[in-house]
Structure 1
Amino acid sequence: MQTTTYKLIELFIIFIIIPVSFAIEYAIWVKMFIAVLGFIYILFVLLRVEKNRFKIAPNLSWKHFFKRVAAQLIGIAILTILYMWFVDKENLFVVMLNKPLKWLAFLFLYSFLSVYPQELIYRTFFFQRYKKLFSNESVFIFFNAVLFSLAHIFFRSSLVLFMTFLGGILFALTFKKTKSTLLVSIEHAIYGCWLFTVGMGSMLGFPS
């Protein structure tokens, strides 16, 4: 088990230095190499150091989870539809209506290739690795959301940073309650897919 100092340095490199560096202009292949290397390191630590076995908990409250997510999704849907209507009306549901096959393909790929790795890093790894470093749970959740928002700094959008911070709070609270990478990934995928569906995908780098 590594020391507290080691973990703090590790946290600083993985969750601050690397995301901020991705906002700087340099070769994309170098960024991809760093991202892949970092992900391999995280998987190694989870499996060999933290002894994570990635088992689905048998006592998950699926009904309560989906009721809560559905209620939150209704609120998100209302706010985002109003935003698109007044700010970017021509792109409201543009991909779903004009390119339905592309829309479906993206929802599938995004959910499995983007959402799950993000939740593995920012919830499963982060909680298991660093939670004991914080004496205040609220501060820990806030810090996790800030770092999750920072991971999107390369989009150079204050709106994206704000939305991902709020998303980070929701996802951190879900993981705190359920300890389930699966459930928090489902929640993340639902909200992300909705943003793409409603027409806000371009600001998050989604294809249009």
Structure 2
Amino acid sequence: MSLQYQVVPVTAFAQNCSIVWCDETMEGIVVDPGGDAQQLAALVEQLRVNVMKIVLTHGHLDHVGGTQELVQLLGQMPIVGPHQADAFWLEGMAQQCQMFGFAPVSPFLPDQWLQEEDTITFGNETLSVYHTPGHTPGHVVLFSESSRLVIVGDVLFNGSVGRTDFPQGDFNQLVTSIKTKLWPLGNDVTFLPGHGPKSTIGQERASNPFVGDDVAL
């Protein structure tokens, strides 16, 4: 048994949408469908993944903008996450679209908010949910213990960290989330960020100029 995934950059922000599935059952999830919903739906069909739910790491437009269209294309399914502290981002979708020059997207709320210690299951896979505020107050990450993989949205990047200059962003809180939630997962863990190439926890601890172990904070 192993977790499979395919990362698809979407929108003008090249946001990494992840299609994640159990290779034994072909049940899966789509994480952060920020846009290009028709492209995502075509790929889901090509991969023959039976998408059970859509999961959102946080409420920023480039991560959630294609959610409702993708539900229409794939058929009704639950929208799960992020943490309820990001409700104001989802409710303010029209303002986000104006701010970033995106086509209008209707405000929406998920069918289920996520909290620390929740789990997301599909097929024979289980992802653990960690609440990681800082980039946004309701940001969550998704960890597969068995596959040593964590999907981190905009918390941590290869060589960088999420920006904290948006409303209710907090740099100190972001650093705390990284050091108390991500570092303990283990240096061998691979992470899929919301933008750019993947990396490992160990690599970032060794060399990340913002939160590496030798950075004085």
After TM superposition, the score normalised by the length of structure 2 is 0.22
**Which structure has greater helix proportion?**
1
Q: Could you say which structure has the larger radius of gyration?
A: 1
TM-score (norm 1): 0.22
